[in-house]
Amino acid sequence: MTKDTLNQLSKDALEELGRTKGLELDKRFNKAKLVSKIAALFKKEEKVYHEDDTNKDGIVSAEEAAAGAERRRRRRLGYC
């Protein structure tokens, strides 16, 4: 997600998005700081991906990459 997309979200939505990525945000901070923290997290996730997470065009979605990583983790731990 880009910063422009994140800026369109409310503080509550940013906090919820952060929780889905394992990042706990404090809504007492201003929106710009929340957006920069989540944007940094997405940028970090874009660099680390598995080839199974790419679509037919070779593009990696952060949500798909996170879901794929979770599926691989669960398989490794024997949940699936």
CA-based nearest residue to 80, from 65, 69, 64, 71: 71
Of the pLDDT bands very low, low, confident and very high (cuts 50, 70, 90), residue 36 is: very high
pLDDT at position 60: 64
- pLDDT of 8 higher than 60: yes
Six token digits for residue 18: 């952060």
pLDDT at position 3: 84
The reply to whether the predicted model has a pTM over 0.75 is: no
